[in-house]
Amino acid sequence: MDTQGAGTDGVGSRSDPATAHLELHQVVVGSESLTQVLDRVAHLATRAVPDVDEVSVTFVEEGRGRTVVFTGQLAVQLDERQYADGFGPCLDAAATGRIVQVPDTANDSSYPDFAGQAVRSGVTRTLSVGMPVHGRTTGALNMYGFRGTGWDDLTIAMADGFAAHAGVALANAALYARAVDEVSQMREAMASRAVIEQAKGMVMAARGCTADEAFAELGRMSAQANRKLRDIAEDVVSDLGRSL
């Protein structure tokens, strides 16, 4: 999945929350890639959630965090500081699925190293919301503000709604990817069966044996060579085909 930065989705400048929410519900996985969907969600969040200046999306896979989309360089820099430390609000939100807020970075004792860098970067408050995601992947929607301290309950609820939408987008994309993989496996199985049946027929014709005897011979060759039955069948088809 490629990381995308500010301005990649063409969402435009800030608008009223109602318009941003309408656009959010028009975002559909399938018409765009997962990265594009998450990027649009992140940019729409900066327009809909009050006093949010930069947004990022964190994925944690096999214990390693990475920022998959972000609306500004400061967001990804603060994310990466947490990944380097192995500790921070976005990682805790991703691990627990909960909302983790640093309401005042200048007076925070929960994440002192992160808060210190946030203060130096001009960030006064942060909010990370855990996303419901798929399999071994966990995630969080991270919001950074340059003014004031804390967010009220309504604002946090709005942020939670955007995180839920991003999580649904990820879940749908995972289901789609799994379906594509299953179709691919089915096609491979059908192709394997076809070449094995073709090889059986050619062995039957060459040796004057039954279908069961031909299949047993292919199995013997596979075991002796320690190779997959399909690979042996392909060799038989190729070798006998050249001899005809």
pLDDT band at 188 (very low <50, low <70, confident <90, very high): confident
DSSP state string for 120-165: HTT--EEEEEEE---TT-EEEEEEEESSSS---HHHHHHHHHHHHH
Structure letter (DSSP) for residue 29:
B
Q: What percent of the chain has pLDDT over 90?
A: 24
Of the pLDDT bands very low, low, confident and very high (cuts 50, 70, 90), residue 60 is confident
pLDDT at 142: 93
The pLDDT of residue 88 is above 90: yes
Average pLDDT, the chain: 79
Residue 9 has a pLDDT of: 41
Q: What angle do CA 43, 47, 51 make, to 5 degrees?
A: 115
Cα–Cα distance measured from residue 148 to residue 199, given in angstroms and rounded to the nearest whole number = 74
Q: 23-32, 37-46, 164-173: lowest mean pLDDT where? A: 23-32
What average pLDDT does range 192-204 have in this prediction?
Answer: 85
Instruction: Specify the pLDDT at position 79.
Output: 94
Q: Is the pLDDT score of 3 beyond 80?
A: no
Q: For the chain, give the percent of residues with pLDDT over 70.
A: 73
Rounded Cα distance between 159 and 219, Å, is: 59
Q: Mean pLDDT, to the nearest integer, of 29-36? A: 66
Residue 1, pLDDT score: 44
Asked if residue 190 has pLDDT above 70, the reply is yes
pLDDT band at 154 (very low <50, low <70, confident <90, very high): confident
pLDDT confidence of residue 36: 77
Q: What is the pLDDT of residue 206?
A: 84
Q: For residue 75, what pLDDT is reported?
A: 92
Residue of 91 and 169 predicted with greater confidence:
91
Mean pLDDT of 14-26: 58
Q: What is the mean pLDDT of residues 60-80?
A: 88
Q: Which domains does the chain have, with CATH numbers?
A: 17-179 (3.30.450.40), 185-243 (1.10.10.10)
Checking if the pLDDT of 6 tops 60, the result is no
Evaluate whether 72 touches 53 at the Cβ level (below 8 Å). yes
Give the residue with greater pLDDT, 25 vs 205.
205
Model pLDDT, residue 8: 38
CA 75/CA 144 separation, integer angstroms: 7
Q: Which residue has the higher pLDDT, 88 or 3?
A: 88
- 135 vs 167, residue with greater confidence: 167
Bin 232: left if φ > 0, else alpha if -120 < ψ < 50, else beta: alpha
Work out the widest C-alpha separation in the chain, in whole angstroms: 87
